[in-house]
Amino acid sequence: MATIDERISRALSILRHLQRAPSSRDTLTDLVSVDVGGSPYDTDTLDAGRRRFEEDLSFLHTRLGVERPRYNRKQAVYEFQGFGEFRPLGLSEEELETLAFLVEAFEPDAPQANQVQALLHRIQELLPDNQQGSLAYRRNRLQIHLRSKDRDEVPPVVENSIGRAVGRQLLRFAYRSPNQADEIPRIHTVEPWNRYFDSARGHFYLDAFLREVDGPHGLWKARQWMRYRIGRILAEGIQVLPERLPPTPPKRPRHKLEYLLAPEIARLGQVSRHFDDMQIYTPDAEGWVRVTATTDNLFMACRQLLSYGPSCRVVGDREVRQHMEALVEGLGRMYNDNQQNS
């Protein structure tokens, strides 16, 4: 009969591997065997080995407090569901201050932001309740400093609701967008994953995955990432819903960028790294430098590249080029109209 130490070792091995990727039972039993040594699931009968594996899964939940991994019958794999009450990590005061700073300061538009925020979220999940609460206080202290720079007035109920929901529960609110000509607020139901201060625009934003929108034209089941300016979220009717967020955020779209920078921008070889996965190539015969990268925010990426003016030419991909062409054509029409009217 296995000792308690052996059961803990096997259960923790399963937990570590499921955090990396969903896996089949056969894959997990092989990985556990490598981690703990021997062949813990090779028993006299196949049923006995499977029963021991299921007991190890149950041990994670009943003895360690981890959410029991879910079996996805369609994919024939087990999936990580969250740490539950399992909180093995404890940080020093200095480490908590550093973590709070990184969470608050690392904006979604920064290079590798998604990966960094996912890592920080994973670290927070492992902290005990008192340190998670302390982290929220430390973040609020940083936000007070930044709030003085935000020109929007955000009602306390909006601040408090977002603080309670971010990274934990669904949030529903009325949002007033300048894109709506009728000026009627729409009701958004979202997964709120991050709150950050955009230093370039001087406002706080909510980085969230939009589930659905309700408005004058009915209910629209949306499934896309959005960035909401918090100053445009209305206090009336804001709700923190009981449904908890999934263990990991939904995948973000990835757009490939390819553009050329003029010699006067890239001559010294110091090209600003605005995007993920940036590759900077050697200048061509005329001094233009080719750059490739990826982004999850096409809207902001094109406007960033537009700031280079005629010193930047977007080559691809097709969607990015079309978006940029539409921006430039719109600007051209506006200035042509202004010249004709004058």
pLDDT digit string (tens) for 256-268? 999 999 988 876 6
pLDDT at 43: 74
Output the pTM of the full model.
0.53
- Residue by residue, DSSP assigns 141-206 as HHHHHHHTT--S---HHHHHHHHHHTTTEEEEEEE--TT-TT-PPEEEEEEEEEEEEETTTTEEEE
What pLDDT shows up at residue 277?
A: 85
pLDDT for residue 140: 65
Residues 320, 314: Cα–Cα separation, whole Å = 8
Task: Select from 274, 271, 328 the least CA-distant residue to 301.
Answer: 274
Q: What are the sequence ranges of the domains in the chain? A: 4-79, 95-244, 255-341
pLDDT score of 149: 61
Q: What pLDDT score does 188 carry?
A: 97
**pLDDT tens digits, one per residue of 153-194:** 888 899 889 988 998 999 999 999 887 778 889 999 999 998
3-state helix, strand, coil in the chain (%, to 5): 40, 25, 35
Supply the pLDDT for residue 64.
92
pLDDT of residue 154: 85
User: 296-312: b or e for each residue (b if 16 or more CB lie within 10 Å)?
Assistant: bbeebbbebbeeeeeeb
Mean pLDDT by 10 residues, the chain (342 residues): 84 93 93 89 80 92 92 93 90 89 69 77 88 77 60 86 91 90 91 83 88 91 90 94 91 89 78 83 88 87 88 89 90 78 64
Quick one: which H or E segment has residue 212? Answer: strand 203-215
181/257 Cα distance (integer angstroms): 32
